[in-house]
Amino acid sequence: MSSPSAAESFPAHTSAASQIFTTVLSQGPLTRSEVARRAGLSAAAVTKAVRPLIEAGYLVEDVDEDARPALGRPANLVRVDGGRALFIGVKVTGDKIIGVLTDLCCRILVARYVPLAARDPKAVLGSAAELVRELLIEADGLGVRVAGLGMAVSGDVDRAEGVVRYSPFLEWRDVPLAELAAMTTGLPVTVDNDVRALTVAEQWFGAGVGLSGFALVTVGAGIGCGLVVHGKVVAGAHGVAGEIGHVAVDPAGPRCHCGNRGCVEAIASDDAIVRQVRAATGVQVADAVEAAGLAHDGVAGAREVYARAGDAIGRGIATVANLLGPERVVISGEGLAAYDLFADHIRDAFATAAFGSAARCDVQTRPLPFDEWARGAAATAIQSFIRSDANQHLRGAALTQPA
Amino acid sequence: MSSPSAAESFPAHTSAASQIFTTVLSQGPLTRSEVARRAGLSAAAVTKAVRPLIEAGYLVEDVDEDARPALGRPANLVRVDGGRALFIGVKVTGDKIIGVLTDLCCRILVARYVPLAARDPKAVLGSAAELVRELLIEADGLGVRVAGLGMAVSGDVDRAEGVVRYSPFLEWRDVPLAELAAMTTGLPVTVDNDVRALTVAEQWFGAGVGLSGFALVTVGAGIGCGLVVHGKVVAGAHGVAGEIGHVAVDPAGPRCHCGNRGCVEAIASDDAIVRQVRAATGVQVADAVEAAGLAHDGVAGAREVYARAGDAIGRGIATVANLLGPERVVISGEGLAAYDLFADHIRDAFATAAFGSAARCDVQTRPLPFDEWARGAAATAIQSFIRSDANQHLRGAALTQPA
């Protein structure tokens, strides 16, 4: 943090230093030589970056008791001191806000929920501020300062500017959320797209650890995708990236809210499935749970809707694989509850549409409940804290946070 | 080069040093502080990397006469000494091989063509070796050693292994081209997909200079795409990436050679256009030039084929933009000859299918003749030469190159 109001500056002033810290955070404890190897940097660069981080208490170096050699100097392991700083992550859903307090290692210490009465920015900010206050009290009890707040929202989010450009789900346009939340909470705030935020957590601590290329596809109210290419989450030059939901797989398909036809989201999102199951069966199912219930009961029309949805998702994933060749694709989201209904179709469509050796990509599923999404938001706050090119907003902090 | 037979080792042993050299190569002459800023590294890292490169003659530092201040020390500019090493790039097309001799700055010094009698690996290797011999004689005349050979082939190419896994166009499967060419020519060889190779040259010296995210779409015999994400060309975990030609835009569309229906390539490649124009007009056009002739003459059926092709290309580009959010997309390839026939359709389809601010991506066209593709192959050889994680094959060199 470079703001004069910030209690202290994180002592990693180059991208190499941030990268070294991130490697230890995600893959540690590690020996210094292993950090150098994995970060692709020289031993000298590691030594230079590690010293001030140890002095400031962000890293600690312990003797590796398991690997103590019979002769010679024991290998030391470098790890992050998780208790050195705390972070808050907030994920906004349609009917509630989930907040987590995490340590610097992004371990969840406390998780809280508040219901959401309305979806306008004022209501969401009010509820989020209430949740943050509760979590700050918890942090006070631990005697450790909260160094940042991450907020994850669905839609087109410009992290660099801290602005939610367009969230169809919340019906927001051009909301300067980072600035507003910084003023309300007094914390440095990072705002990001919710799937991208979850992807950061997965890359650091989940199914993407150590992978250079990786995709996280979320299936549920929307169809989202976080992409890691060359070891970094893709943000897009203008804030849009990973829009697998708007890969058009059928020009004769159903109309999508984006204006096109046959987008993956128009065929496979919860709403699309409910609509199509109603049309196919004549049963006025209330939601995706009821729609899946009909399909599980073996109602043919409902099963076909899921088959078509699986086909669309599989083709969307194949498009990602054909363009980027990731090592792994992880499918997650609330839609996993009905996964048995479309798993075969996803796999078949992927295998058919993947080009050449792109089909060798490892496609797997992994349940990630909403706490994990809030943790993803905390991960973006940690990312801003440790990165020299951080995209976070400090205006509010400059006004209100005690130095 | 780490081979004992290599005449000397390029003195950039860390990824930071390679990155610094690449920044000067692509964007120089630059002051040291500007190199640091653009490479995102510290001034100390630049100093450390630059010293041995200057000592070995790869970089030179001159006083910037244009910016000599009235008082104080003048600013020095660092640039690459292009004459320090030479490279050969070879591009294989259906009926000829194009070879270029370049300097270290990838400037073309000599360009040569040899006709190709057959497309089997032996015939291609024989013709390529003949071309390389001619270019080596030219290099001898200049008194500078050739430090590497780059070969660019269409299809699924595993650069790390030096193997052409599958080239539908050449009808090759699992050809260890790098090893074979290294044995034949005695040079260190880098083999890459031709569109990816062209993308390296565009990123360093063309429309992609200084851009973090960039796509090059080539339209012609095939529909290809090179992707730059986070400043690096995407290779794919298993060698496949950028396969925009196999983005399926219409499940009811024509059958593609890959087995699927409605791939962009099945609608918009030269062959696909010829086939569709024949079917639509009944005229047995011989090739894409004749097909375009009919469309230029205003024959309705032919014009519609181009309109459909433009629509497919535009939707393919929108898919790239929705997933990756590049700053710029450049359309090139032999197909540009007929660009007026589908330009409007590409633009309209892109604008319609791009999601949110992904539509702000700058889409432009740029003619790149085959010499430029061969130059791309030379650029991959330069890349291997200067990169610590080079993917090149030295077996042949170890056998035959004089030390």
CB pairs under 8 A between A and B: 190
Give residue B243's pLDDT band: very low, low, confident or very high (50, 70, 90). Answer: very high
Residue A400 above 50 pLDDT? Answer: no
Q: Is residue A6 part of a domain?
A: no
Same domain, A227 and A359: yes
Q: Whole-number mean pLDDT of chain B?
A: 89
Residue A40 above 90 pLDDT? Answer: no
Closest approach of B37 to chain A, Cα-based (Å): 11
Choose the weakest-confidence range: A177-181, B4-8, B390-394: B4-8
Judged on CB neighbours under 10 Å (0-12, 13-18, 19+), B149 is: buried
Residue A176 above 80 pLDDT? Answer: yes
Q: What is the pLDDT of residue B263?
A: 95
Residue B397 above 80 pLDDT? Answer: no
Same domain, A151 and A244: no
Burial pattern B240-253, b for ≥16 Cβ within 10 A else e, equals: bbbbbbbbbbbbeb
Same domain, B379 and B275: no
Chain position carrying tokens 């005697």: A143
Q: Is residue B221 part of a domain?
A: yes
Residue A33 above 60 pLDDT? Answer: yes
Same domain, A31 and A54: yes
Q: Is residue A115 part of a domain?
A: yes
Q: Is residue B8 part of a domain?
A: no
Tally of CB atoms within 10 A around A320: 25
| Phi, psi angle pair for A48, to nearest 5° | -65, -40
Q: Is residue A9 part of a domain?
A: no
Query: Mean pLDDT, to the nearest integer, of A223-234?
Result: 94
Q: A321: which 2 tokens?
A: 């694989």
Query: Mean pLDDT, to the nearest integer, of B326-341?
Result: 92
Query: Mean pLDDT, to the nearest integer, of B218-224?
Result: 92
Which residues does A189 contact at the CB level (< 8 Å), separation at least 6? A148, A149, A150, A151, A162, A177, A178, A179, A181, A182, A381, A392, A393, A396
Interface test with B, best of A20, A255, A258, A322 (most B CBs within 10 A): A322
Same domain, A376 and A355: no
Q: Which of B138, B369, B243 is nearest to A353 (CA)?
A: B243
Is B322 in Cβ contact with A243 (below 8 Å)?
A: yes
Is A234 in Cβ contact with B229 (below 8 Å)?
A: yes
pLDDT digits (tens, 9 = 90+) for B190-212: 999 999 999 999 999 999 998 99
Give residue A356's pLDDT band: very low, low, confident or very high (50, 70, 90). Answer: confident
- With beta carbons under 8 A apart, name residues in chain A contacting B45: 14, 16, 45
Q: B1 in helix, strand or coil?
A: coil
Q: What is the pLDDT of residue B257?
A: 86
Q: What is the pLDDT of residue A311?
A: 95
Please give the distance of CA B367 from its chain centroid, rounded to a whole number.
13
Is A355 in Cβ contact with B225 (below 8 Å)?
A: no
| Partners of residue A215 on adjacent β-strands | A227, A329
- With beta carbons under 8 A apart, name residues in chain A contacting B244: 322-323
Same domain, B246 and B162: no
pLDDT digits (tens, 9 = 90+) for A320-341: 999 999 999 999 998 888 899 9
Q: A326: which 2 tokens?
A: 């990731």
Q: What is the pLDDT of residue A388?
A: 53
pLDDT digits (tens, 9 = 90+) for B135-163: 999 999 999 999 999 999 988 888 989 99
Q: SS3 sequence, A147-199?
A: EEEEEEECCEEECCCCEEEEECCCCEEEECHHHHHHHHHCCCEEEEEHHHHHH
Q: What is the pLDDT of residue A396?
A: 40
The percentage of chain A sitting over the pLDDT mark of 70, rounded to a whole number, equals 91
Q: What is the pLDDT of residue A119?
A: 93
Residue B398 above 70 pLDDT? Answer: no
Is A353 in Cβ contact with B260 (below 8 Å)?
A: yes
Query: Mean pLDDT, to the nearest integer, of B274-301?
Result: 95
Kindly list the distances between the CA atom of residue B43 and the CA atoms of A13, A16, B34, in Å, as whole numbers in the listed order.
Answer: 12, 13, 9
Q: Is residue B204 part of a domain?
A: no
Q: A138 in helix, strand or coil?
A: helix
- With beta carbons under 8 A apart, name residues in chain B contacting A358: 236, 238, 240, 243
Kindly list the distances between the CA atom of residue A290 and the CA atoms of A274, A277, A302, A370, B174, in Å, as whole numbers in the listed order.
Answer: 8, 10, 10, 21, 50
Interface confidence (ipTM) of the complex? 0.87
- With beta carbons under 8 A apart, name residues in chain B contacting A324: 227, 229, 234, 236, 241, 323-324
Q: What is the pLDDT of residue A172?
A: 93
Same domain, B330 and B240: yes
The domain boundary residue, chosen from A80, A110, A125: A80
How many domains does one find in chain B? 3
Q: Rounded to the nearest 10 degrees, what angle do helices A288-296 and A339-353 cross at? A: 90
> Could you list the residue range(s) of the whole structural domain that residue B58 is in?
15-80
Kindly list the distances between the CA atom of residue B398 and the CA atoms of B4, B166, B187, in Å, as whole numbers in the listed order.
Answer: 7, 27, 9
Same domain, A272 and A314: yes
Say which residue, A390 or B393, is predicted with more confidence: B393
Query: Mean pLDDT, to the nearest integer, of B291-314?
Result: 95
Closest approach of A123 to chain B, Cα-based (Å): 25
Residue A394 above 80 pLDDT? Answer: no
The torsion of the CA quartet A100, A102, A107, A109, rounded to 10 degrees, works out to: -70
CATH of residue A52's domain is 1.10.10.10
Q: What is the pLDDT of residue B402?
A: 38
Q: A139: which 2 tokens?
A: 């942090």
The percentage of chain A sitting over the pLDDT mark of 90, rounded to a whole number, equals 72
Same domain, B339 and B242: yes
Distance CA B269, CA B295 (A): 15
Kindly list the distances between the CA atom of residue A239 and the CA atoms of A192, A319, B74, in Å, as whole numbers in the listed order.
Answer: 9, 20, 41
Query: Mean pLDDT, to the nearest integer, of A256-261?
Result: 89
| Partners of residue B110 on adjacent β-strands | B101
Same domain, A249 and A300: yes
Q: What is the pLDDT of residue B107?
A: 96
Name the residue among B156, B237, B250 with its Cβ closest to that of A213: B237
Q: What is the pLDDT of residue B5?
A: 38
Interface test with B, best of A157, A158, A172, A238 (most B CBs within 10 A): A238
Q: Whole-number mean pLDDT of chain A?
A: 89
Interface test with A, best of B173, B192, B255, B355 (most A CBs within 10 A): B355
CB distance B228 to B203 below 8 Å: yes
Same domain, B33 and B162: no
Same domain, A221 and A356: yes
Q: Which residue of A has its CA nearest to B311?
A: A251
Q: Is residue A48 part of a domain?
A: yes
CATH of residue A277's domain is 3.30.420.40
Name the residue among A234, A238, A319 with its Cβ closest to that of B319: A319
Residue A156 above 90 pLDDT? Answer: no
Q: Is residue A393 part of a domain?
A: yes
pLDDT digits (tens, 9 = 90+) for A75-115: 789 999 999 999 999 999 888 999 999 999 999 999 999 99
Is A357 in Cβ contact with B156 (below 8 Å)?
A: yes
